[in-house]
Chains A and B, each alone.
Chain A
Amino acid sequence: MDQVSKVSVLRYDPDKDVSPRYEQYEVPFSDGMTVLEVLKYIYDNYSPIVFRYGCRIKVCGSCSVMMNNRPVMACKEKAEKVMTIEPIPVLPTIKDLAVDFDAFFDKRVKIRPFIEPPKKKIELPRQLSYDVVNKYRECETCVECLICDAACPVVAKTPHLFAGPCTMLEIARLYRDPQDSGDRIRLAVSEGLFNCDLCGKCTEMCPVGIKIHRVIDELQQLARKQEPMVNEKASGHRVEINVDKEGLR
């Protein structure tokens, strides 16, 4: 237990600080320790840093942070001996590592993330084939931790042109629900579907293992078929991003 982890945390208190700053802490390190345990150690023993967590088992999706420039779920990610911890960049920061989930809520409302009334009344329990259910299930396991958005190079560069993988996944979930009568494909296009380059960073980082870029790929194919007029050109500015060159962020 003599090992230590040198941790640098981005601190920012909007009521007091002129600008954000990094503060260094030394935390006793043991193998298998998670980022969450490191943060809690700092909170208990050094300074009341602000960060969020809830369930500890990857279901509430509230503990996402950037660790050494990678978006990670603090309750799952193993700590390293030298770490820089920052808030995830896709939502406005409120204080230290806590970001404003209200902004996410507002963004969600925009895509009408609820079942648009079906054309005819549905009897309960719904008659659903096993295949439909299985496809639906893929999108449903999302915990809205926003790690995919934080990993997305398109969102990092042009957030106004692409709503992000998390939004696309939600649109796909609604599309895959047979009782929804909304035109989700057109919605996806207007949210920047074709600005996704299918680079797969979202899938790589997803803590619950959803193949997000495959889901987006399927949406793109559907959109090409359903609305040949509303395809790449219609979504306006195409963004060129070279993932290899620019790395993650």
Chain B
Amino acid sequence: MRSFSVLEADVLVIGGGITATRAAVAAYDEGARVILVDKGIIGKSGGGPVAYSVTAALVQEPDSAEVFFEDLIRSGQGINNQHLVRTFVEDIIEGRVLELERFGIVFAREKDGQLSRRQMGGHSYPRDVASFHAASMVNVMVSEVMRRDIKVFSETAITQLLTHEGRVVGAIGLDRKKGEVVVFRAKSTVMTAGGASQVFGPGKICGYSTTLLEITGDSYAMAYRVGAELIDMEFIQYIIGFAYPELYKGILAGEPAAHNAKLYNSLEERFMKRYNPERMDQSTKDVLAAAIVQEVKAGRGTPHGGVWMDFSLATEDSLHIFPYPFEEAGIDPKKDRVEVMPAAHYHMGGVKINERCESNVPGLYASGEAAGGLHGANRLAGCSTADSNVFGFRSGKYAAIEALKMKGPVAIDWKQAYEERNRLASLLQSSTKSSGITPVSLKRKLQTILWDDAGPLRDKVSMTAAIEKIKAIREEYRNIRIRQDSPRLNNELLEAIDVANMIDFGEMMVRAALLREETRGGHYREDFQKKDDEKWLKNIVIKKQNNKMSISTMPVVKKS
């Protein structure tokens, strides 16, 4: 850990999913030298392996760009950045998603060879296409990365962005396979490692989340630390996941609407009649999530803290659209009821960007789940992968164009690099302490706080307490102790790095959620259960100023 290597590129892409690969390929095609750095293994990490369905638009009468635009705004409950939405709609219609077929993906076809299109919840017309296999999209993009001379660093965790005179000039990270610190010097840096769902929990194996293990809010925390503005941090999308068995806690169990499924509490009541008597189990995800948690809280939950979901009316086909682990869990969905609970799925907010994916910090770009503003308060089905394609492409392209305008390598503030290296080294050194808290127990504490106090149900009292508790966790973090001092593939060292990011993310989320005194989309306040358009048709922006979290509101960006 003492010495470190330095690598140089025009564009540095942080992440390893669809957005990252798309950005890296676009940047390379503009003529830039590209390095892609992924905390996990490229193609096997992030959101890529579970993204099978995508909004490809293919608008035909009576569907149109305007209707699509309106659908997005309605689902985002009016607070989407309309510039981003317009760009998104235009690019998809132009074929940004469909061109994946040129890279070799084959979307599902009907018997006559036409694309099978599906109408997903919240869309006015069928606009989604699906690949046969959950990981197809990312696999195809990884093969496009292989076609090009893009340098890939798998299992290298970026731990901090580097700045020089107010500009992001690359990043420093830990090459976990070698146990070495690496400095990446880059003219443009693209953040694509979005999502933070693993901050909720604590599950024995993973957080209460549909996502993969790596999704710990890294992009938001790192961007925040270099002064980037983050928007809509209070909005989390919850989806229905398994509550039992333990291994599958949080894994997607599907929408009742898609499977014709019914929800029951432990008293055998169809409890949705209390929350939304008209739409019942067909309600949107945010309503279902809040209802389930309220039922459990009122003592009407199942033995493992969920409610029952009855799939007996589901069609055979619908049970195979996603690799649901029914068989592995020993459940026959046609006969047995499944215990389900809300699970964190997607984070709507993120780095505030414009149509060129630029953040307010020069040299820093963000796209995909790492960026915020496009989806507003709630995300439309299929639009995350579409977002990855549209803005992944744009971020790579514009990052490359900017980088290629610059002459010579960028200057580095070595003091920052040394400081970060010392931080990593001292985390590793903590193994020599005689006592301390392990990263995994600290992570579980934090996950419990964020889920219980600021998860699907939030109110002023719980969140005010959560802020104090997060403060205490920050103190406790100083006392962290890992059990192994060898730097190579040290999972505890990585967990310690992750927890620091999760703390920063958690605080941002709670502060924004505390400020927004209303219920909107993925943000459900028990003490303000109504939407308040008069006061809150605006966005909350968080930024680091004078070493403090400064929080403000801004008007919604309207279509010009």
A56 touches B205 (CB 8 A): yes
Contact of B144 among A14, A16, A114 (CB under 8 A): A114
Dominant SS among interface residues on chain A = loop
A177 touches B104 (CB 8 A): yes
CB distance from B338 to the nearest CB of A (A): 14
CB distance from A44 to the nearest CB of B (A): 6
B42 touches A115 (CB 8 A): no
Flag whether A2 is at the interface (Cβ < 8 A).
no
Flag whether B113 is at the interface (Cβ < 8 A).
yes
Contact of A101 among B131, B154, B487 (CB under 8 A): B154
A15 touches B488 (CB 8 A): yes
Contact of B245 among A32, A95, A125 (CB under 8 A): A32
Residues 37-63 of B, flagged 1 when their CB comes within 8 A of A and 0 if not, give 000111111000110000000100000
A113 touches B143 (CB 8 A): yes
CB distance from A209 to the nearest CB of B (A): 11
Chain A residues whose CB sits within 8 angstroms of the CB of B489 once the complex forms: 50, 94-96, 98
Interface residues of B in 486-530 (CB under 8 A from A): 486-492
Flag whether A57 is at the interface (Cβ < 8 A).
yes
Count of B interface residues, CB-CB < 8 Å? 69
Flag whether B483 is at the interface (Cβ < 8 A).
yes
Residues 300-315 of B, flagged 1 when their CB comes within 8 A of A and 0 if not, give 0000000000000000
Chain A residues whose CB sits within 8 angstroms of the CB of B482 once the complex forms: 48
Count of A interface residues, CB-CB < 8 Å? 61
On whether A125 and B115 interact (CB within 8 A), knowing A54-B212, A62-B44, the answer reads: yes
On whether A114 and B488 interact (CB within 8 A), knowing A54-B40, A124-B98, the answer reads: no
Chain A residues whose CB sits within 8 angstroms of the CB of B131 once the complex forms: 140
Flag whether A136 is at the interface (Cβ < 8 A).
yes
Q: Which of A126-134, A152-160, A228-236 contacts B (4 or more CB under 8 A)?
A: A126-134
Interface residues of A in 79-110 (CB under 8 A from B): 94-96, 98, 100-102, 105, 108-109
Flag whether A13 is at the interface (Cβ < 8 A).
yes
28 interchain pairs (CB within 8 A)?
A14-B488, A34-B247, A37-B204, A43-B440, A52-B41, A54-B214, A57-B328, A60-B44, A61-B44, A62-B44, A75-B247, A94-B488, A94-B489, A95-B486, A98-B489, A101-B44, A101-B154, A112-B146, A114-B143, A114-B144, A122-B101, A124-B102, A125-B107, A130-B111, A137-B106, A142-B133, A143-B135, A144-B43
The interface of chain B, by Cβ under 8 A from chain A, is 40-45, 49-50, 58, 95, 98-99, 101-104, 106-115, 131-136, 139, 143-144, 146-147, 152, 154-155, 177, 179, 204-206, 212-214, 245-248, 251, 323-325, 328, 330, 440, 482-484, 486-492
